């Protein structure tokens, strides 16, 4: 007998927020590197430790930006502005999927956002509408852990008050889906919005 599904967990970057096709860079980091006139390798070397720590909320936003700006030889204010501009240009809200997720909640399903974000990307990408339209929002920099750590999946399940086998997890990265499956969740690999909604509908009552 198929387990009754009671909840859905959605990733943000690449799922609820989609890359803007008009943004002529493969990602935010390449945009920043180009704006600063440095190589991508040099850029990543400059932000590495502070950026990684910020994703798990191990250091404050102020300290992360101060360290990164010093290494990149730019003022904290200018670097912050660059990041916020890049995130807002690079991503577009997936209105169709967000509407579908909202309809699930209205039908009585419990829904969650589960996203890895550092302090600045959270400001740009974790929108107020998410807190309104989902049962809970779990962001790595707020809870001190990130995917694919099983603990962050378990925390999300705890907030939803659901068992793993009662939940569908949707993400655009295979390495984030693997631990969800090991915990007992069903999972959908996001490829495009139409495919995701089609696959999600299969699990409704």
Statement to judge: residues 114 and 170 lie in one domain: yes
CA dist., res. 183 & res. 201, Å (int): 22
Q: What pLDDT was estimated at residue 204?
A: 81
Per the structure, the count of domains in the chain is 2
**Residue 125 in 3-state DSSP?**
helix
Range of the domain at 87: 28-91
Q: What pLDDT was estimated at residue 1?
A: 44
Q: What pLDDT was estimated at residue 205?
A: 67
Statement to judge: residues 181 and 103 lie in one domain: yes
Of 72, 91, 110, the residue that ends a domain is 91
Other Cβ atoms within 10 Å of 48 Cβ, number: 12
User: What are the mean pLDDT values of the chain's consecutive 10-residue runs (205 residues total)?
Assistant: 84 96 90 96 96 95 96 97 94 97 96 96 96 97 97 98 98 97 97 97 84
Statement to judge: residues 49 and 138 lie in one domain: no
- What is the enclosing helix (H) or strand (E) of 7? strand 7-10
Statement to judge: residues 33 and 120 lie in one domain: no
- Measured between alpha carbons, how far is residue 74 from residues 61, 80, 81, 125 in Å? 16, 10, 11, 24
In a domain, 80, yes or no: yes
In a domain, 192, yes or no: yes
CATH number of the domain where residue 133 is located: 3.40.50.1000
> From edge to edge, which strands make up the β-sheet containing 110-115?
136-139, 110-115, 7-10, 167-171, 186-189
Statement to judge: residues 54 and 72 lie in one domain: yes
Q: What pLDDT was estimated at residue 97?
A: 98
- Measured between alpha carbons, how far is residue 62 from residues 46, 57, 116, 139, 177 in Å? 16, 12, 19, 18, 32
Cα atoms found within 13 Å of the Cα of residue 199, Cβ hemisphere only: 17
Q: How far out from the chain centre does Cα 182 lie? A: 20
Statement to judge: residues 85 and 109 lie in one domain: no
In a domain, 110, yes or no: yes
Statement to judge: residues 87 and 100 lie in one domain: no
């Amino acid at each position: 007998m198929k387990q009754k599904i009671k909840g859905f967990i959605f990733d943000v970057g690449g799922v609820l927020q989609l890359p803007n096709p008009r943004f002529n860079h493969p990602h935010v980091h390449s945009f920043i590197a180009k704006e600063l006139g440095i190589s991508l390798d040099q850029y990543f070397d400059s932000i590495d430790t502070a950026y990684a720590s910020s994703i798990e909320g191990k250091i404050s936003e102020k300290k992360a930006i101060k360290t990164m700006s010093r290494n990149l030889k730019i003022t904290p204010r200018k670097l912050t502005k660059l990041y916020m501009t890049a995130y807002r240009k690079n991503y577009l809200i997936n209105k169709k999927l967000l509407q579908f997720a909202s309809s699930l909640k209205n039908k009585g399903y419990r829904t969650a956002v589960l996203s890895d974000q550092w302090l600045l990307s959270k400001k740009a990408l974790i929108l107020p509408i998410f807190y309104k339209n989902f049962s809970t929002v779990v962001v790595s920099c707020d809870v001190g852990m990130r995917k694919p750590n099983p603990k962050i999946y378990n925390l999300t399940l705890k907030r939803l008050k659901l068992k793993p086998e009662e939940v569908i997890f949707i993400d655009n990265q295979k390495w984030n889906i693997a631990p969800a499956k090991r915990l007992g969740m069903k999972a959908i690999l996001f490829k495009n919005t139409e495919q995701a909604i089609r696959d999600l509908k299969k699990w409704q009552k």
